[in-house]
């Protein structure tokens, strides 16, 4: 059995590079868009699970009843040894399904940042072992999580210590490795996303400001009273030009080049 389950929670936050990799490796996959179907298939029909981000919180059961079903699915699947790759909210849901606390931090972490460092344990990890010690990432979250019991911490940043972890064959990464410059820039066509960035950037996209961002949950901003399911299909809504999209694209392109160069030097 070599078919993967890809869980997507917002039309504008697709698997991106994760999907490209599956296609390149000729791995069959089924993508489930929960903002439309609100139901999950039987995880036992799949060889592995890839879980993307979303604008909701990992424990927003009162608004989105299927979140409890998804946590149960994740707990059952990873407990049975299924490989799992969770991005941002996908990482938070993995932590929650393993009994860890998911919470809103004191400050959001938004923008292209070069301060994520791998742990010593990551050097022996089959996924992170060949990565540079410090990596440049795209961050967009204010929620975080405690490390689940029995998990191995793989990466940290000064603001949020739990940036990546492994639990058996399951991985959770808080940052967005899947986002190309074009995909990340397209998020700024969503008014709530653009407003979030304007509120919390300071002196550049790599810095943020402000207190607890309770309008921001797993990944993808949410204005007060606006749920993911209220957004137009595709999340492609025109927003007045602010230059943020071009700047974000430039930063991501430069960051991707630097990270590739460091990875080549490390090898």
Q: Is residue 94 predicted with pLDDT exceeding 70?
A: yes
CA distance linking residue 188 with residue 179, whole number of Å: 13
Q: For the segment 189-239, what is each residue's pLDDT rounded down to a tens digit?
A: 777 776 776 676 543 333 222 222 333 345 443 322 223 323 322 332 222
Distance of CA 53 to the CA centre of its chain: 5
CA distance linking residue 28 with residue 5, whole number of Å: 9
1: confidence class by pLDDT, cuts 50, 70, 90:
low
Cβ count within 10 A of residue 63: 11
Residue of 112, 87, 105 whose CA lies nearest to 201: 112
Q: What angle do CA 160, 163, 166 make, to 5 degrees?
A: 140
Q: What pTM did the predictor assign?
A: 0.75
Task: Confirm if 238 and 231 have CB atoms less than 8 A apart.
Answer: no
| Phi and psi based region of residue 76 (left: phi greater than 0; alpha: psi -120 to 50; beta: remaining) | alpha
Residue of 118, 135, 113, 116 whose CA lies nearest to 262: 135
Could you tell me the end-to-end alpha-carbon distance of the chain, in angstroms, rounded to an integer? 33
| Segment 43-62 mean pLDDT | 91
Residue of 207, 139, 197 whose CA lies nearest to 173: 139
Report the pLDDT value the prediction gives residue 192, as an integer from 0 to 100: 74
Report the pLDDT value the prediction gives residue 145, as an integer from 0 to 100: 95
Distance of CA 267 to the CA centre of its chain: 27
Q: Residue 8: which residues within 8 A CB-CB, separation 6 or more?
A: 14, 15, 31, 32, 33, 34, 35, 52, 54
At residue 230, the 3 state secondary structure works out as: helix
| Segment 73-82 mean pLDDT | 97
Report the pLDDT value the prediction gives residue 134, as an integer from 0 to 100: 93
Q: For the segment 175-184, what is each residue's pLDDT rounded down to a tens digit?
A: 988 877 777 7
CA distance linking residue 74 with residue 167, whole number of Å: 12
Domains recognised in the chain with CATH numbers: 3-101+143-173 (3.40.50.880)
């Amino acid at each position: 059995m070599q078919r993967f389950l890809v869980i997507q929670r917002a039309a504008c936050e697709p698997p991106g590079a994760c999907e490209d990799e599956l296609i390149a490796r000729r791995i069959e996959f089924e993508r489930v868009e929960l903002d439309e179907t609100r139901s999950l298939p039987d995880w036992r029909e799949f060889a592995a699970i890839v879980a993307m981000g979303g604008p909701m919180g990992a424990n927003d059961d009162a608004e989105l009843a299927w979140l409890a079903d998804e946590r149960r699915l994740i707990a059952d699947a990873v407990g049975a040894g299924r490989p799992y790759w969770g991005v941002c909210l996908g990482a938070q849901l993995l932590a929650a399904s393993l009994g860890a606390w998911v919470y809103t931090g004191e400050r959001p972490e938004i923008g292209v940042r070069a301060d994520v460092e791998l742990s010593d344990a990551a050097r022996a990890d089959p996924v992170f072992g060949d990565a540079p010690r410090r990596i440049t990432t795209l961050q967009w979250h204010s929620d975080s999580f405690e490390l689940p019991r029995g998990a191995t911490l793989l990466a940290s940043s000064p603001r949020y210590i739990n940036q990546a972890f492994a639990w058996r064959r399951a991985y959770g990464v808080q940052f967005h490795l899947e986002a190309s410059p074009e995909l990340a820039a397209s998020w700024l066509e969503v008014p709530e996303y653009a407003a979030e960035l304007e509120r919390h950037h300071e002196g550049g996209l790599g810095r943020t400001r402000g207190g607890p961002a309770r309008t921001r949950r797993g990944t993808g901003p949410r204005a007060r009273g606006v749920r993911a399911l209220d957004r137009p299909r595709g999340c492609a809504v025109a927003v007045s030009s602010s230059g943020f999209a071009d700047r974000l694209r430039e930063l991501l392109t430069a960051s991707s080049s630097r990270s590739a160069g460091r990875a080549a030097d490390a090898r």
